[in-house]
Chains A and B, each alone.
Chain A
């Protein structure tokens, strides 16, 4: 079974991704607000507005192809990405996702995709 990789969402604030991955999106769903709604408290850094949980599979990466990826991000940043779509995720500092961009197909040249 593939290992799972969980990424934390941050806004880029002018930063550039260290790595980009092409993924196939397997699922997008709203995040539960958890125990007593703690998952909604804006005083917890990871509790972003209108969170959705995106899971997918990494494609065409020498080291990580086939691994599952999970990131919770604001619905507004997800834009039109749906289950079954392909997307590029930009990652920095090993586990921080700072962008996600929908692409047309699995044959996309991700080096040409603007995902800072």
Chain B
């Protein structure tokens, strides 16, 4: 049975995909960070294949480059380095990670997440949203070490003056979650389970937890 939580314009949040509960520590390659924008829309930073410096994103159907042969950028990419970055808002997530926006699909794919939700000032909410708007325009490179989903989520919280320093230790979604939950102990809400959102008009969403 699903529970629905109404998200407001002064809410921002962190979603750690693969984190089953507040105390669960997922493996480094089993977690991903998305953020919740004011109003409830999820957004996240992903590696999107291709060499970040080449402008080439991958093989093309019907072109002479449609080979499986791996060149140098494919080798770097296989290590999660210097990959093109992309910011995925809900319309992108529905194509590349529909189980991140639909709780029933999260259950089908058995992908549990933990959400940390904070109430912030209007200025902080505006700054948080602006960070993602600007990153979408120029996402830069994705690097699994130090330029990943949690790095950018952390920067959004810092830009919004919700945090004052970067993630302690390795940039992982779970380390960012721990930093936020320790700083805002007693002032944040957390939810775990199969997580999705439900649009309630324009850019406003409810959080759905199964």
Contacts and interface: CB of A to CB of B under 8 A. Distances in A.
A13 B79 contact: no
Contacts of A33: 29
Interface stretch (B3-11, B91-99, B130-138, B183-191): B91-99
Interface in A1-52: 3-8, 10-11, 13, 15, 33-46, 49-50
A95 B49 CA distance: 14
Contacts of A41: 29, 32, 47, 80, 144
A68 to B, nearest CB: 9
Interface residues of A, number: 32
Nearest to A4: B68
Contact of B66 (A5, A11, A37, A46): A5
B-side interface size class: 35 or more
A70 interface: yes
Nearest to A64: B62
State the 6 A-B residue pairs at the shortest beta-carbon distance, nearest first: A94-B61, A95-B61, A42-B32, A44-B47, A37-B29, A13-B94
Interface of B: 17-18, 27, 29-33, 44-49, 58-63, 66-68, 78-80, 83, 86, 88, 91, 94-99, 108-109, 111, 142, 144, 148-149
